[in-house]
Amino acid sequence: MARDWSSATGHEIHDALHHGTATASDITQSFLRRIEAVDGKVRAYVDIWKDHALKQAENVDSRLKRGQTIGPLAGVPFAIKDVLCTKHGHTTCCSRILKGYRSPFDATVIERLEQAGVVFLGKVNMDEFAMGSSTENSSVQVTRNPWDLKCVPGGSSGGSAAAVVADECVASLGSDTGGSIRQPAALCGCVGMKPTYGRVSRYGLVAFASSLDQIGPFTKDVEDLALVMNVISGRDERDSTSADIPVPNYSQALRDDISDITVGLPKEYYTDALNPEMRQKIESAVKILEARGAKVIEVSLPHTEYAIAVYYIICTAEASANLARFDGVRYGYRAPKVADVQEMYAKTKTDGYGREVQRRILLGTYVLSSGYYDAYYLKAQKVRALIRKDFEEAFQKCNVIATPTSPTPAFEIGAKTADPLEMYLSDIYTISVNLAGIPGLSVPCGLTQSGLPSGLQLLGKPFDEATLMRVAYAYEKNRGFDIGKPPLT
């Protein structure tokens, strides 16, 4: 019986391929078998690319047979959030309005990973157009948390996180507009990073809120995170918001010594609203960092209380503008049996969009409308500048900021769907990061008494992902436990 590689990390797979103890084809087959065995329960994938994946694996094996050197991600199986354009398969954002759509081009991150030799296993589930915190807003299916199938995996990149944790891929790509990488990473128990705005090209990412969206990876450990960020980071001429700033070798930044690091704890995040068990997990994690030599101080982010309101004005306004392109005229779904163009527009959007997307478009259109622009959108942008300034002042005193990723562990499917505001509060600790444009990552910091993962969020200065990864790596190596694997058979 061939070895099961599905629990392996990317660096373990690279070592096996480098030393000839496995082939990329064997490894890919192992993951395809794993998907067949467990995805009926988890429901992470919306499109499985079996033949395409095996062809990519064969290309890696051919290079090895010819004696060519392969990169650290060659032959490593990946999953792709269905918000990224790919020439192969469909790109639907898990929305009825884009059902069956095929992109004529690949996103820049897809191109870069293909050049690195990764194997793409397929597209994974998400909240429609990345609007949600639980992956319950998908028009395709509801993805389930591998640790408890009654619970959500978080969102909007719930399929990306669940696939990694259920060992249905080694790593995956997601997008983060207000916490959509970090929150599901915390709820599912894997590593997830939202890079600095501009560090990773957004070309080929179907836009939700253009000033907030950022692409990032989910991995099983920090070492794999560094490998993926080495490949996908850097300037792209096709993305005008992509920063022309040198990219360090993130793998070389990983070391256990953090004696020169000062960790800030924002007093606004550690209030009575924080779940007591989650607080205990974060405090224990900070003590480990302190034991490794880090200095811990209190900092203040005084405009935190306005973040939710500011975010849901800015993101909905940008969504209203971005989603206007899906009108049923050029591509995607078009409503049948309509009398005129106006009815076609209205019926296409009514039938094609789910309730949450409709809600956000309506909110965004309202705050941009005549008479309300100054009262809402303009004021929100001014407060956003204050939130950014809070972080700038805090980082004058510390190198990284440590917070919870989520106020609670994963909640049961359906528990918050009736109350949108309660759902929005799931991202209370992650939203400010997108408003400020700084990098953040979530790393697992233990299981709750109910057996669900919790996440430590680390925030850094703009374009200082290397320091975040170093601190996360030091914590990961010294936390004294591994959360293990979810109880999937």
Residues 6+ apart with CB under 8 A from 341: none
Q: Is 297 exposed, middle or buried (0-12, 13-18, 19+ CB in 10 A)?
A: exposed
Q: Which one-letter DSSP state was computed for residue 332? A: S
Q: What are phi and psi of 401, to 5 degrees?
A: -115, 135
Please give the Cα distance from 206 to 82 (Å, whole number): 9
Whether the Cβ atoms of residue 189 and residue 442 lie closer than 8 Å to each other: no
Residues 6+ apart with CB under 8 A from 292: 256, 257, 258, 259, 474, 475, 478
User: In which region does residue 414 sit, left (phi positive, over 0), alpha (psi from -120 to 50) or beta (all else)?
Assistant: left
Whether the Cβ atoms of residue 77 and residue 33 lie closer than 8 Å to each other: no
Q: What does the block give as tokens for 109?
A: 């991150």
Sheet holding 440-447, edge to edge: 45-48, 119-124, 77-81, 171-176, 214-219, 191-194, 440-447, 453-460, 400-404, 262-266, 295-299
Residue 473: which of 267, 292, 228, 205 has the closest Cα? 292
Please give the Cα distance from 253 to 226 (Å, whole number): 9
Residue 212: which of 174, 177, 173, 175 has the closest Cα? 177
Active-site residue list: 81, 156, 180
Whether the Cβ atoms of residue 182 and residue 225 lie closer than 8 Å to each other: no
Residue 186: which of 489, 387, 480, 458 has the closest Cα? 458
Residue 239: which of 216, 217, 210 has the closest Cα? 210
Please report, for residues 12, 69, 73, the alpha-carbon distance to residue 16 in angstroms, rounded to integers and kept in the order given: 6, 14, 12
